[in-house]
Structure 1
């Protein structure tokens, strides 16, 4: 009898722990990832498609997440026609993100710290062009939506074109190393 009670308690505890953990898949067709890059003479912005993603919750508290971004969809939204085609092609080339060799980028959460109601500080590992570096950013969750904004230093990922970190005397041709990513997620 004692063994039966112990087994029942362990089964209940396992069921309860499992029921409290939940992985929510991101709806990639309803989510958006926007980038904005800056140069001495202005800026450009555009989108990149999220290939897959999930957020992990325990007792309705965010505890993890993982995303794969389809770099082949990298495109500008502030230009049109031949200028858009030229910029999009250049961003996809080896001068920038080398999407033929590196078709995806990934973000894996390593630590999530609640900072307020529905707000979290996320530490994670971002991989671009086969190079992985730590990132920290704020993420907010509201019902079945989440949003986050982070700054990425492209020099850490060997994205060299127009970077003063790699080249001297660029003057007004300098493209700043930091670019912004803003994610609006539906799950």
Structure 2
């Protein structure tokens, strides 16, 4: 009897050790770029502008149902304004795509690669990633929520860190009501 109990206990310990050391497979899920949206909003002293920009590609990586990574490429040439129409819409979009802002001819894409993902609640994560705009890479931290086959994130980006200086009070004095704030918002809704 003692031998059977000892054998059973040994089997449970070995089984638990094998199970605990078996790695969980990382599964990468491609983002459906046509069904996902990235909305931007920039602020100036006299108001704001907003619009959308398209994902060129993207993926999220999971261990089981836990988010562990992600990579995204944004098509900077797709940047459009949604708050203006006609001539003013064209002027704003042209200016944002010019070298004064994002220089999309020379830098047609921007990227984000997750470097650290920490769970901070059910379906909620604090993500740190390398964001590259205009060939300059800086670390950013933001929150991501995942529900089923959808994920959402909101982040603030300081454009001055990426050499986007036009109208910035950080670089130019006496701009008055022509000042454009350095931080802009991105709201991301992903389908995968």
CA–CA distance in 1 between the matches of 2:73 and 2:187? 15
CA–CA distance in 1 between the matches of 2:186 and 2:64? 28
Q: How does 1:23-172 map to 2 (within 5 A)?
A: 23-172=28-177
Aligned residue among 157, 166, 185 for 1:180: 185
Q: Which of 1 and 2 has greater Rg?
A: 2
CA–CA distance in 1 between the matches of 2:76 and 2:141? 21
Unaligned runs of at least 5 residues, structure 1:
1-11
CA–CA distance in 2 between the matches of 1:66 and 1:25? 10
Q: TM-score, normalised by structure 2?
A: 0.88
Q: CA deviation at 1:133?
A: 0.4
Q: CA deviation at 1:17?
A: 3.8
For residue 122 of structure 1, give the secondary structure of its aligned residue in structure 2.
Answer: strand
CA–CA distance in 1 between the matches of 2:92 and 2:180? 13
Q: TM-score, normalised by structure 1?
A: 0.90
Unaligned runs of at least 5 residues, structure 2:
1-17
Q: CA deviation at 1:184?
A: 0.2
Q: CA deviation at 1:21?
A: 1.5
For residue 59 of structure 2, give the secondary structure of its aligned residue in structure 1.
Answer: strand
CA–CA distance in 2 between the matches of 1:75 and 1:84? 8
